[in-house]
Structure 1
Amino acid sequence: MLRIAICDDNIPITTEIETLLNSICNKYHVLLKIDIFFDGKTLCQHIQSHNYYDLIYLDIEMKEMNGIEAARLVRSLKLPTLLIYISSYDTYFEQLFEVEPFRFLSKPIALVQFENYFSAALNRIMDNTQFFTFSFRQEHYKIPLSEIVYFESRRRDVIIHTTKKDYRFIGKLDSTERSTSNHTFSFIRVHQSFLVNFYYIRSLSPSSLILATGTSLPISSKYRNQVSDHYLKLCEEL
């Protein structure tokens, strides 16, 4: 399912984009979920509450928080979300460059251009989506890394805790750690039994951490310095 956010303080524009997206996705046979926001601040709060979007249509000039500031927050979280601006951008060109926009849409929206840009975004998303793949009881699974909160080792099994449900497979956490090390999403080993997605860490102490889901996990003495160094390094990159 494609997850899309529309953020514009102009209600007719958000309605138009939503209608166009539903029409095009029916044509492409793409399942999608659309969330609509009328200011950048609300959008950012939603994203910080561990809600991920593949694509965001973002207006530049909004009163509460403009599109540039919202985009900076999205980029600070190291998410591979594509951004399509739906406003004139000449005045903001240098600022927009730093937040890696995918495309620019001028108002009024041109249908052909809108569909072409969506098609290009869809192709990019399909190429770039990062997954964790595994097998259990002869069934094969493919889970977006963006949805994985943490991995847990239990005897011979690894439990995958996601934002939606839990999965399990037979394996070792060491192997899981190696397989996730080269992806955009940073996973931190905090304990012999836990491998955590950095994006979901909300607070950190020497002996434990709190995840965005409210779960508290211990940090073992073996990994304490490594966790602190890794966490600070990633924070500096934000």
Structure 2
Amino acid sequence: MIKIAICDDDKSVITSIKEAITDFGAANSVEFEIHSFSSGEKLVESELNFDLIFLDIEMSGIDGIKTAKLIRPTARRSRIVYVTNHSELALQSYSVHPFDFVVKPFKRERITHVLGELMKYLADTAEPESVIQLKGMDGPLLLNLKNIYVFEYTGNRRITVYTKSETYCIKGSLSEIFSLIDSESFTSPHKSFIINMEHIDKLSGFTLYTTNGIEVPVAQKKLKEFHNAFSSFIKNYIKQE
């Protein structure tokens, strides 16, 4: 899940950017969590960390540049896109390391370009085991492994990928998926399923339940194997903590 903040005292600007993000996500199978703020003060008070922040430079109260300076010490990894009516004001923002600039009035394509650059940046800087590129029905699909709950093979080289709130259909086999995954968090308790053990809620009989309610069967002959895999995962998880 990619978290984005929009901070602007103009509601129409917030709406335009939010619609562009939503459409980009739907077109590219990317999950976004969007938060909007009507002032720099409210963004600072939120104390939330975001992957990307669209930040208006000229706002009543504290302006965008001061807002960025206030949040930067605790949000060093947040990429800030300054939104302004005057391109020359962008020059004042280099002290707080901008990711990009958007000059009003802007076209939706400008927001789409910024989001595309964000996706490239996240893919380039992500740890090798944290991102997986899959064969989506309409082209390449890039997902964070930590956000994947379950892979379910449905036949005819079709796999359903379940995340916390979305499902995707991809091409391939579960063996091909395992060859792409460089993570000990995933195991196969059944020939038709791969599950991310980070999201297991409970095991009841021969059924696993994820934290968002997905049910995954455990084959009887694989029960012991699953218990061993889950025990090993828990031990490694505790060590990392």
Give TM-score scaled by structure 2 length: 0.54
Structure 2 stretches lacking a partner, 5+ long? 131-145, 147-182, 189-194, 200-232
- Residue 77 of structure 1 is matched in structure 2 by 74
Could you tell me how far apart the structure 2 residues matched to 1:30 and 1:102 are?
Answer: 20
Structure 2 vs 1, CA of residues 141 and 104 (structure 1 numbering), >3 Å: closer, same or farther?
Answer: farther
Could you tell me how far apart the structure 2 residues matched to 1:137 and 1:25 are?
Answer: 29
Could you tell me how far apart the structure 2 residues matched to 1:106 and 1:81 are?
Answer: 20
Could you tell me how far apart the structure 2 residues matched to 1:65 and 1:84 are?
Answer: 17
Contact 1:54–1:125 under 8 Å retained in 2: no
Structure 2 vs 1, CA of residues 172 and 38 (structure 1 numbering), >3 Å: closer, same or farther?
Answer: closer
Give TM-score scaled by structure 1 length: 0.54
| Percent identity of paired positions between Structure 1 and Structure 2 | 26
SS in 1 for 2:58: coil
Could you tell me how far apart the structure 2 residues matched to 1:19 and 1:73 are?
Answer: 28
1:1-238 mapped onto 2 (5 Å cutoff): 1-46=1-46, 48=47, 51-87=48-84, 88-93=86-91, 95-129=92-126, 135=185, 140=196, 169-171=234-236, 176=240
Structure 1 stretches lacking a partner, 5+ long? 144-167, 177-194, 196-238
Structure 2 vs 1, CA of residues 103 and 7 (structure 1 numbering), >3 Å: closer, same or farther?
Answer: same
- Return the index of the structure with the highest Cα Rg: 2
Note the alpha carbon deviations across 1:32-76, whole angstroms, 9 max, x for none: 111110101101111x2xx22111100001112211112112321
Runs of 4+ off more than 6 Å? none
Could you tell me how far apart the structure 2 residues matched to 1:76 and 1:24 are?
Answer: 30
Could you tell me how far apart the structure 2 residues matched to 1:66 and 1:129 are?
Answer: 32
Could you tell me how far apart the structure 1 residues matched to 2:90 and 2:101 are?
Answer: 12
- Residue 210 of structure 1 is matched in structure 2 by none
Contact 2:82–2:90 under 8 Å retained in 1: no
Offset of residue 110 of structure 1: 2.0
Query: In the comparison of the two structures, how many residue pairs are matched?
Result: 148
Contact 1:56–1:82 under 8 Å retained in 2: yes
Offset of residue 81 of structure 1: 1.1
Give the letter for the 2:185 counterpart: S
Could you tell me how far apart the structure 2 residues matched to 1:34 and 1:172 are?
Answer: 30
